[in-house]
Structure 1
Amino acid sequence: MTKEQRTKNKEQMKVIGLMSGTSVDGVDAALVEISGHRENLDVTLLAAETYPYPEWLQREILAVCAGKALTMKEFCELDDAIAQQFAKRAQQLEKDTGTAADLIGSHGQTVFHRPPQDTLGYSLQLGRGAVIAHLSQRPTVSNFRAADIAQNGQGAPLVPKVDACLLSHPSQTRCVQNIGGISNVTYLPPRSQPDWDNKIVGWDNGPGNSLLDLAVQCLTGGEQYYDENGQWAAQGTPNLKLLENWLETDFFQQPPPKSTGRELFGADYFERVWKQAQDYDLSPADLLASLTELTVSAIAQDYQRFLPQLPETILLCGGGSRNHYLKQRLQQTFPEVEVTTTDAVGLDSHAKEAIAFAVLAYWRYWDQFPSNLPQVTGAKKSVLLGEIAPP
């Protein structure tokens, strides 16, 4: 279908965005209605849901992220199983809302990410778009990172242009702080500033929930997967000597553009953290408080070193936005900055990343609009993101 045909046939598109992040909690699905052109979009959230992975599939994904070897047959089966889950969840959202989508945008499930160094980077998301398109009978845009990486970019974070479209303010400086398994920031200068869009920056800060979740699973023998609302960590006291040691990790000293994943802040890193903590005789709550402080300190250190100025508002999203203790520590770290969530400005904080991939799919499929930001990812130029699979 040509752009002219799409424009003629549709004034609006209903798009499902699908996302599963480094926390590997499950599939976030958002159904949105989008109209407009380029950055001038109207985006309305119609429905959103998080669908947990089956336990066996979650275990397998986490094992692969931690380095488990697979035969090619096992690899293909895992790829198909993830794609089937994504397609099933898109269909479930359509069924529950009684609304048929025109398009699906799927980030897939990241199982490996290598930022560019001496060679091009590499990032692998499982859950093939072609399978999703076939099972759902909806055109599907996927594999969003590849085009940016081909231009020597990091391939992440990819949502800052969407953040700018949906969350920038005419006169206020904002940071959109996503805290999933990994935390990442988008800095948004006021739109009233000259050349404001070229002043947008963003990068990965370091661990978000990844180490905290691993600690909770270790401390409870696998009976719990996360610290709800940060209640357990709130009972502890951070160990500042340990924190100082952890912050010496090279990634925290690296200037943007930078991205990371479970390859660095995953099981191996947590094993070192766990061993170091034994020397300090920490209580479980102290360990969780210390790991929370690592997430907060990595964000704070990056803001102070690499932002043109501190924002007036920090807008939290992702699973970490529900961690009240983490949010409290951020507010205490930045007493003159308002720390709130994207809900406060009209964008669902839990569905925000899935919404972003619906917008990225819309830009790719209908608008043919380049949607990476080279100053964020380090890519040589702005390019179209995503590959289109017809139904």
Structure 2
Amino acid sequence: MKIIGLMSGTSVDGIDAVLIEVSGQETDLKVELLAGETFAYPEELRAKILAVCSGKPISLDKLASLDDAIALNFAQAAQKIQSQKSPAKLIGSHGQTVYHRPPLIEGTDKNLGYSLQIGRGELIAHLTGIKTISNFRAADIAAGGEGAPMVPKVDACLLSHPTKTRAIQNIGGIGNVAYLPPNQELNWQQQIRGWDTGPGNALLDLAVARLTDGRQTYDHNGQWAAQGTPNQQLVAQWLQQDFFQQSPPKSTGRELFGQDYLNQCWQDMEQAQLNDSDRLATITELTIASIAHSYEQFLPQMPDEVLLCGGGSRNLYLRQRLQAKLTSAKITTTDRSGIDGNFKEAIAFAILAYWRVNSIAGNLPQVTGAARAMLLGDIHVP
């Protein structure tokens, strides 16, 4: 089956669109990437999304308009990535997350979480004429889960190794990990773990925009940060934040690691009299240290290999610093194992759509904390 996958993450860089061909079911799953492209949001639309993500109030009327605009852009991305000779039969659209609240734990009662992805699937289905699956996180959350991370089962089917322990580390706006034991081990699927590790590129991108008055949105290849020296004392101080100490299952977003969090870090860095490059090096180091700390505290063992994906995997300085922290693991990318790291998340939501129409559960309860495995996504027929 040919499937389109659509994804825009917490970095709000644009819409990652893929066209893949899928065969098999789960452990025999095979994927061929036929096309992949990132379609930038119009700048005005991106600014509106970032404002909502940062907690700026919005009327229901404007929220409805934003929902429609995102759906239109997603549908256009699907049409552009579409093969005219052999059209796709299905679309998996993650939509754009504008709010994520993990389950609230008060005493012994655990209240349900909430996650809102807009860019409505029914409109995408109508505009493209292709059956569309969307709203993937809701079923897991209804079963008591975090609704994130959503892709560890896909990672397990595509990237597990017969003899090596692997950690698949996505570094988008937020970082998340899927821990994969060797797939030749007995009951290996029950040993898969995953959670959000903390900030990925979100704080770093906000810092770059702040230092350049918005003229630059990211640190290309980490070149600016590489000129500085990270302040390890500040990083150690920031790692005391409650989220980093919380045991999995856990998830997070811009609601925690956003502009307000950066403002607090900025005050600390001003008091420490850091220059601009030292500030970027220190914020980059927080991402690195949060990943390493997460592995040391919560993994059953350190992985043999760490396979990076997402925008942060292209940051050479970040990769070098992570290798310096995780000396026992080989740091590489998912590209080396046949899955394009730029489009892995979009590929994953195409597969989750494929599983939904084939009545195959998409979540892993031990990862998200859901009471049971669930069919993920709402089906929209054009």
Q: Which TM bucket (shorter chain)?
A: over 0.9
Distance in 2 (CA, whole Å) between partners of 1:99 and 1:296 is 43
Pairing 1:193–2:178 present: no
Equivalent pairs: percent with the same residue?
61
2:78 aligned to which of 90, 100, 103: 90
Amino acid at match of 1:56: E
In structure 2, what is the equivalent of residue 21 of structure 1?
Answer: 9
Distance in 1 (CA, whole Å) between partners of 2:188 and 2:121 is 34
1:232 aligned to which of 224, 229, 233: 224
SS at match of 1:111: strand
Distance in 2 (CA, whole Å) between partners of 1:98 and 1:172 is 40
2:38 aligned to which of 50, 53, 60: 50
TM-score (norm 2): 0.97
Pairing 1:380–2:371 present: yes
Q: Give the Å deviation of 1:217.
A: 0.1
Distance in 2 (CA, whole Å) between partners of 1:42 and 1:206 is 30
Amino acid at match of 2:379: I
Pairing 1:390–2:377 present: no
Q: Give the Å deviation of 1:237.
A: 0.3
Pairing 1:314–2:302 present: no
Pairing 1:31–2:22 present: no
Amino acid at match of 2:53: C
Q: Give the Å deviation of 1:352.
A: 0.5
2:94 aligned to which of 78, 93, 107: 107
Pairing 1:269–2:261 present: yes
Pairs within 5 Å for 1:361-380: 361-365=353-357, 367-380=358-371
In structure 2, what is the equivalent of residue 180 of structure 1?
Answer: 172
In structure 2, what is the equivalent of residue 78 of structure 1?
Answer: 66
Q: Give the Å deviation of 1:274.
A: 1.1
TM-score (norm 1): 0.95
Pairing 1:133–2:121 present: no
SS at match of 1:176: strand
Distance in 2 (CA, whole Å) between partners of 1:25 and 1:98 is 30
Distance in 2 (CA, whole Å) between partners of 1:115 and 1:254 is 12
In structure 2, what is the equivalent of residue 8 of structure 1?
Answer: none
Gaps of 5+ in 2: 105-109
In structure 1, what is the equivalent of residue 107 of structure 2?
Answer: none
Q: Give the Å deviation of 1:309.
A: 0.6
Pairing 1:219–2:207 present: no
Gaps of 5+ in 1: 1-12
Deviations 1:165-185 (CA, angstroms, capped at 9, x unpaired): 000011110000000000000
In structure 2, what is the equivalent of residue 122 of structure 1?
Answer: 114
Q: Give the Å deviation of 1:336.
A: 2.2
2:278 aligned to which of 269, 280, 286: 286
1:160 aligned to which of 152, 159, 178: 152
SS at match of 2:20: strand
Distance in 1 (CA, whole Å) between partners of 2:23 and 2:232 is 49
Distance in 1 (CA, whole Å) between partners of 2:246 and 2:167 is 20
